[in-house]
Structure formats: structure tokens, C-alpha cells
A and B are shown apart, each in its own frame.
Chain A
């Protein structure tokens, strides 16, 4: 065999050829490489079996959870007054099944069926309800050594069944959603979503096929919990988000006015060659924050949004939960200020989109729960509490309460006060009353903002209202959406007013 190595005998080349390393050295390097590779495997196993273990082993689709749910008697679900919302019955074979107190809680509680799986809290809290997972981590670890490892937990909700009933009744035959929560704690008192459905029929083994088929084949999609998963154009209620971003970032304050605004109210505002027109009923005079909120000036908020900038708008919306699914006891869809695929700051395409988004009409989509949080942020002096439904879990070992947690400090109390004043004027002011007729709670200072989401084409707009009361010391925040309900002031605002009245009748001021 000849190759470059076969040189003439002597004298050898002056350059010393590179010595051939013994294979044993590179083999031991290969050994080190494989050891590292196996260490990575160990890390992977640790990730799934320790860090992700609980999440995986309590996932609703985990066969162990499904298998346990078949035999285990689930814990009950009760409302804030102790009224049982979900209870157990036994069939002719002695196997347990679920019965629900009222259809109005179906969007919250969901169902647990042997054949069709679970939905709602029955799904997201399946592991706790079946007792597959102990909330106490130490006991959870020792659980496998016990003969009877299951400790089903009873869930206590912050939900109020009477208030929930009132909300569903108020929505009536319309499709829509109501979210009412305590801004100080994040506790949700009502989470209505229509149409409702008969969860008991799905859970009962005798009627499950028909019960599920009725829901599945309904074109109004009752299984879509509109309050948490419906994504809607917000219309003017989004102006509160713009105000929060503007005031929070220091771009505007309560006294901000725009020189070009009065003229633009008549002629429209030209942004990048696109003309934004005002809706009817806005006077052509100089407006400040409160006045612009009162008359719901699109031009003023477009200008405010442009001054605030897309990055600030996205940033402050993000602090309130936009852009990600909300941390909540039920699955939520994300709300968006913009699609986020544009190259301008904040993910906007250009200033035209930003200007339109600032009054809630571009590619902005929100869930009713998200808008309730916007109202709650202002109500709670700029501090947003994590929304939650489950306030306590009770098992054999006693009760574990779930305390309120702060989600985010969005703006300062001073800044919140400026927006609060504007929202009070939108309900209580002379002109504001025309837009938000009926939202006012008798004898209580009420703050709010109505919205009319133009959808283009034929048909009525979505009717929106967000607000809170009493303005001095808010105890209840609300978001109402009625699909195709007409103007915000006509449908959503009166419903919100009557529901807040009901709340004060029940819980006092």
C-alpha cells in the first residue's frame, strides 16, 4: 500500500510529521462524550419525573385520572353560601355519577361523564375532586404508602348561585357573557355564559348520549365558555386600556388635550392617509380625558394612542394579561391588542392600526374575563388581583384555603384615580348618561364605560359594558358582553346596572 506516508528512505523530510495519537486517548474522549449524553438523559428523566410529574400525573387526559374518576366518589362543589352545585348519585350498579344543582353553573362547573370525559372545573380540578392529588406536597409524596390513597376534595367556590342566576336570566335568549368579580381579591362571583346547557344530562349514564348530542349538535356552541374563551372585538370599552397605557406611561394625564382634535371631530383624522371618522354625537370642542371618555371620542383616543405609542400600549395591556392565556381556574383564550406580526413598535403594522386599536376597532380581540380584569385594575387602585373561582379545598385532612394573590401592579393609585374619575363621568356625567343609560346603580357612585363593537357588514354590533361600584371604594367589578346586542348603552349597560344593584341588595354596600 502506498500513500503520502511512503517517503524515500533517507534522509527523511525536515518537517516532523504530526504524531499519530494513540486510539486509547480518543476512545476515552468518546467515553466522556457518551457519559455526558447519558447525564442529559438523566436530566430529561428528572425533568419529567420530578418537575413535570405532578402536572402530568394529574392531567385530565391521563388514563390514571380517567380510571380513578370511574370508581372514586368525587368531592362536591359548593358556592360561597354553601349551596351544593355538584353532587353525587349512584346508579343501579352502585357506581357514582354527577348531578348538578342548576344549569346556570354549567359554564363554570362543567360536567364529569363516564363516556364523554370532563369539562369546566370538573376537568381542571379533576385531580383534586377525585383526590388523586393531595394539595399538601408532603402528604402527596407519602400517599402511595397508604392503603386507601384517595382523598377527594370538596371545592368551595367564590361564585354566588343567586347572582349567577340573575346574570343568566339577564342575558336571556341572547348569546353573551357576564363576569362579576371582587376587585380587591380577584374572587369571581358570577361567570355567566349563554347559552347554558344541561350538564346533568351528560353526566347521567342513562341520558348521556342524548345529553351530549344535544350540546354537540347545537350551533350556538354552548360548550364554548364565552366569558373565558370567546374572543370579541371590544369597541369603546378598550379605550380604558388605552387610557391606562397612556396615563401609566406618562404620555397623557387627566388634563391632556389635543390641538387638532376639535377640527378632526368634524372632518376626520387622517393617519397615514387613512381617515378616521367620529361617530355621531361627539361635540366638536376641546376634550380632556374625562370629557373624551364621557362622550366616547374616537378621535381623542386615537390621538392619545398615537402619543402613547404601540410599545407602551402593548406593554400595559400585557401587564393586565393580554397576549397570554390568563391564569385562571378555567381554560382561557388569550386577548390581543394586535396580532403582533407588524414591524411597528408593539407589533402593530403601522400608525393607522395603532390609531384604530386605541379605540378598539382594529385587530384587537378580547375575552369578557379580560375586560373585567381591566375594570378591576382601575377599581383596585391600579393593582390587579389574580382572578379565581376556587377559594377552598376540603378533604379528610381538613381545609386548605386559597388566598388572594396579586397578579400585577399595573399603574399607581394616583394614575388609577384619574381614570376612575373619567369612568365615573362616563356613567354619572350629563352627556355620559346618554351613552350608558341604565348602568347607574341607584344611590351608588357608579363608574364604567360602554362599548359598541362594529363588526362590519349586516347585523347589530356587539354590546359591551365594563364598570365597577361604588366608585369611592369599589367592591364589585363587572364586564358584560351581549353578542349582536346593539349599542352598548342599550343592552349591556342596563344589564350591568341591574346586576350590580342585585349584588348590593345581596351583599350590602
Chain B
């Protein structure tokens, strides 16, 4: 095995090795991303995904991050504006207490429904439950990590 052949094969194998080094670098980046995401304190506590919204606001399919206290209604000062003719100005409020979400109907004209059942007073709300204000239906989901 002479010097030339040895050199060229070392270079060739180095090239292949570098391709894998690159892939290794990418994988390391991905792992770091995942770790960082796990460490990062979740700023959102839950999300509302809009299932149906005939008036288009909030837009259907939109996903809305929630604070510990989130107000819903037609008024523009609400955290989530529900522009629906059957919704009241101050319609309902979502609160996160301990580990659970609760929904409270703020004496709205047409009521608030969880999975089709009218809310009376304060009612717990689980992930996957469906909330209805007027014609707008939204589903509560786990926060994104």
C-alpha cells in the first residue's frame, strides 16, 4: 500500500466521516432544543382552539394562549374577543386555580355551555372539553411546550 493510495483513502474516509459529523451535530442540536424546551417554564397555562366561529372572529382553527385569568366576550377589552351576535359584552371568565381550569358565566344573555351543558356559577373545565359562547365553540387544550 503506497503513500498516495493511503493518503487518498484517508481523505475519502475523512469526507464520509464529516458527513456523519454533520448529522451528529444536527442531532445534538435537536436534543438541546428538546431539553431547552423542557426547562423553559411554560408561559401559557392552556390554549383555546376555535372549533366553530360563524362570524369569523376569533377565526376558526385559531389557537389562543391563555393567562391565569382570561376574560371572554364581545367587548374589545376582553382577553379573548368573541365577536358573535349571541355573545354578551362580558360573557365569561376562565380562571386557572391550582391545577385546574374553571369557567364562570358572567350572567350572559344566552349562557355559556361546557360540552353542551349550561354553566351555572363556577364549573370546572378539563382539557378537551368544549366551551360554547353564542355560536362560537372553542376547545380547551394543554399548553404547548
Contacts and interface: CB of A to CB of B under 8 A. Distances in A.
Contacts of A22: 49, 63, 141
Interface string A133-169: 0000000000011110000000000000000000000
B130 A10 contact: no
B54 A6 contact: yes
B49 A145 contact: no
Instruction: Among B4, B9, B52, B130, find the residue whose CB has the most chain A CB atoms closer than 10 A.
Output: B52
Q: Interface SS of chain A: helix, strand, loop or mixed?
A: loop
Interface in A4-47: 5-14, 16-17, 19-20, 22
A11 B117 CA distance: 8
Contacts of B130: 16-17, 19
B64 interface: no
B135 interface: yes
Contacts of B61: 20
Given A5-B52, A9-B86, A19 B4 contact: no
A16 B137 CA distance: 11
A93 interface: no
B132 interface: yes
B1 A146 contact: yes
B8 to A, nearest CB: 10
Contact of B4 (A6, A10, A20, A147): A147
A365 B111 CA distance: 90
Contact of A9 (B9, B128, B134): B134
Contacts of B118: 11
Interface residues of A, number: 21
Contacts of B6: 145
B135 A6 contact: yes
A314 to B, nearest CB: 51
A385 B120 CA distance: 91
A439 to B, nearest CB: 60
A272 interface: no
Interface string B41-71: 0000000010110101000010100000000
A11 B52 contact: no
Among B9, B115, B135, max chain A CB count under 10 A is at B135
A397 interface: no
B51 A19 contact: yes
Contact of B1 (A6, A14, A147): A147
A2 interface: yes
Given A17-B51, A20-B51, A147-B2, A9 B135 contact: yes
Q: Which of B5, B128, B134 has the most CB of A within 10 A?
A: B5
Given A19-B128, A145-B5, A12 B51 contact: no
B102 interface: no
A80 to B, nearest CB: 37
A147 B5 CA distance: 6
B113 interface: yes
Contacts of B132: 10, 12
Given A10-B86, A147-B4, A19 B139 contact: yes
Interface string B1-20: 11011100100000000000
Interface of A: 1-2, 5-14, 16-17, 19-20, 22, 144-147
22 contacts: A1-B54, A1-B56, A6-B135, A7-B135, A10-B110, A10-B111, A10-B132, A10-B134, A11-B118, A12-B116, A12-B137, A14-B116, A16-B116, A16-B130, A19-B128, A22-B141, A144-B9, A145-B1, A145-B5, A145-B6, A147-B1, A147-B4
Interface of B: 1-2, 4-6, 9, 49, 51-52, 54, 56, 61, 63, 86, 110-111, 113, 115-116, 118, 128, 130, 132, 134-135, 137, 139, 141
